[in-house]
Amino acid sequence: MENRFSILIIDDVEENIYSLKLLIEEFDVDIYSALSASEGISVLTKHPVDLILCDIQMPDIDGFQFAEYIKGIENLKNIPIIFVTGIYDKDSYQQRGYDLGAIEYITKPIDDVLLTSKLKVYIDLFNKNKETKESLELANKLVVHNTKMASIGEMIGVISHQLKQPLNVLSLYCEDIKYSYDYGDLDKETIDDFSVNTKKQIHHMKDTIDGFLGFFNPNKPKENFSVIESLKDSLALMHSHLDKNKVILHEKFEDDFLLNGITMELSQVVMNFITNSIQAFNEREIEQRNIEIRCYSENGKNYITFTDDAGGIKEDNLEKIFDPYFTTKSEGSGIGLYMVKLVITKTFGGKLSLENFEKGVRFILEFDKVD
């Protein structure tokens, strides 16, 4: 359904509502009406409203009291109000209206041209804001899509490297059995050993591919999962990548806890932190390479920390490191850590912070307990 500009008219005189509707109908907007402030509040609970035209002098609850009431409600307080009234005391009434957040004050008899020109301005602003919001939403979707594609690309590189070893082993087994046949040493024991060992390598490759597909299943529903189990599965996929880059991994899994979400998204976070650390190790040619992952509970909160000794981050960049498109890498897009923060805060409802720690950096992920 198209999101159109909507106006709520509140006036205790039905003829006044009818007259305002006739003026407004030339615009392509949704119009709601109420004969009292109480009825107007009821309309606001049922329909989205972008602008309120409100009389001041009404029985029971007047326009000022109505404005004061909705300003105390979080999802209503920013709706602009135009007071339309026959009261002319500008010093006392207009000032009170502006103090309550009114954007305009129009006196009766209404100047049709004045009112319609003002409405046109507000409607144009609404449409421009709508277009801007839609553009931002599209841009964010593209950022998310590109980041996921980049994550998949990085993971494919890891998987490719991880499959090379069992493929090389299989190649050696094939050479060995050919050698045994050529020299007449091919017996049942040799064939049995070949069968057992090749099946073992094939199962290893199958498990690796199944794990990859499981992590990147977009239709996987949210569920409660064990953090330690998820971390171990993620690190198993990164093991050969860590070995290749001579990184020593220290696992300090002190307390297990549950997170509600998709395991794959936590895996992407783990992969991002490890990949960033490895890049820093390589760029700075650091020989002693350590990454520590700690999982623990403290003071009613759950934590995961990632710590490396890859040289840390410049103090000037600490506050900007999670900003979209900010990067310290010559060829980086700057969306990796931005997306990590979105996953932690939006998907898991947690908090993400960082600090320079000894010879490197520490990322701190904080979560509430999941029942």
Residues 211 and 228 in one domain: no
Determine the length of the chain: 371
- Domain membership of residue 130 (yes or no) is no
Query: For the chain, how many structural domains are there in total?
Result: 3
Question: Over the stretch 324-349, which tens digit does the pLDDT of each residue have?
Answer: 656 665 444 445 787 788 889 988 99
Q: Which domain-ending residue is among 92, 110, 128? A: 110
Any residues with CB less than 8 A from the CB of 65 and at least 6 apart, and which? 37
Nearest 5°: the CA angle 167, 168, 169 is 90
Give the distance from CA 20 to its chain's centroid.
Answer: 43
pLDDT of residue 332: 46
Residues 210 and 227 in one domain: no
Q: What is the mean pLDDT of residues 51-69?
A: 88
Read off the CATH number of the domain in which 258 is found: 3.30.565.10
pLDDT of residue 7: 92
The pTM of this model reads 0.50
- Domain membership of residue 270 (yes or no) is yes
Residue with the two structure tokens 């920013």: 78
- Domain membership of residue 27 (yes or no) is yes
Residues 196 and 234 in one domain: no
Cβ count within 10 A of residue 141: 10
Question: Over the stretch 188-233, which tens digit does the pLDDT of each residue have?
Answer: 888 888 888 888 878 777 876 776 665 556 566 788 999 999 999 8
Residues 236 and 327 in one domain: yes
Q: Rounded CA gap, 35 and 257, in Å?
A: 55
Q: What is the mean pLDDT of residues 101-129?
A: 80
Share of the chain above pLDDT 90, in %: 29
Band the pLDDT of 145: cuts 50, 70, 90: low
List C-alpha distances in Å: 72 to 30, 55, 75, 115: 25, 19, 9, 27
pLDDT of residue 129: 81
pLDDT of residue 1: 45
Of 32-41, 310-319, 321-330, least confident by mean pLDDT is: 321-330
Q: Which domain, by its residues, includes 280?
A: 223-367
Residues 239 and 338 in one domain: yes
Q: Rounded CA gap, 55 and 67, in Å?
A: 11
Answer with the residue of higher pLDDT: 240 or 151: 240
Provide the 8-state DSSP code for 75.
T
Read off the CATH number of the domain in which 187 is found: 1.10.287.130
Residues 207 and 330 in one domain: no
Q: Which domain-ending residue is among 68, 91, 110? A: 110
- Domain membership of residue 117 (yes or no) is no
List C-alpha distances in Å: 221 to 149, 224, 260, 302, 368: 20, 10, 10, 23, 20
Band the pLDDT of 133: cuts 50, 70, 90: confident
Read off the CATH number of the domain in which 22 is found: 3.40.50.2300
Per the rule left: phi > 0, alpha: psi between -120 and 50, beta: everything else, 224 is beta
- Domain membership of residue 129 (yes or no) is no
Residues 209 and 257 in one domain: no
Q: What is the mean pLDDT of the chain?
A: 83
pLDDT of residue 126: 81
- Domain membership of residue 56 (yes or no) is yes
Q: Rounded CA gap, 21 and 7, in Å?
A: 10
Residues 278 and 297 in one domain: yes
Are 304 and 227 within 8 A, CB to CB? Answer: yes
Residues 201 and 282 in one domain: no
Tell me which residue of 286, 311, 293, 216 sits closest to 252, measured CA to CA. Answer: 293
Q: Quick check: 94 pLDDT over 50?
A: yes
Any residues with CB less than 8 A from the CB of 362 and at least 6 apart, and which? 305, 306, 307, 354, 355, 356
Residues 227 and 360 in one domain: yes
- Domain membership of residue 232 (yes or no) is yes
Residues 227 and 150 in one domain: no
Residues 244 and 359 in one domain: yes
Q: What is the mean pLDDT of residues 164-188?
A: 82
Are 303 and 364 within 8 A, CB to CB? Answer: yes
Q: Which domain-ending residue is among 110, 131, 162? A: 110
Q: Rounded CA gap, 304 and 217, in Å?
A: 24
Q: Rounded CA gap, 122 and 126, in Å?
A: 6
Question: Over the stretch 170-179, which tens digit does the pLDDT of each residue have?
Answer: 888 788 888 8
**Maximum mean pLDDT: which of 113-122, 145-154, 266-275, 354-363:** 354-363
- Domain membership of residue 123 (yes or no) is no
Q: Rounded CA gap, 345 and 245, in Å?
A: 31
Look up residue 316 and give its amino acid: D
Are 155 and 212 within 8 A, CB to CB? Answer: yes
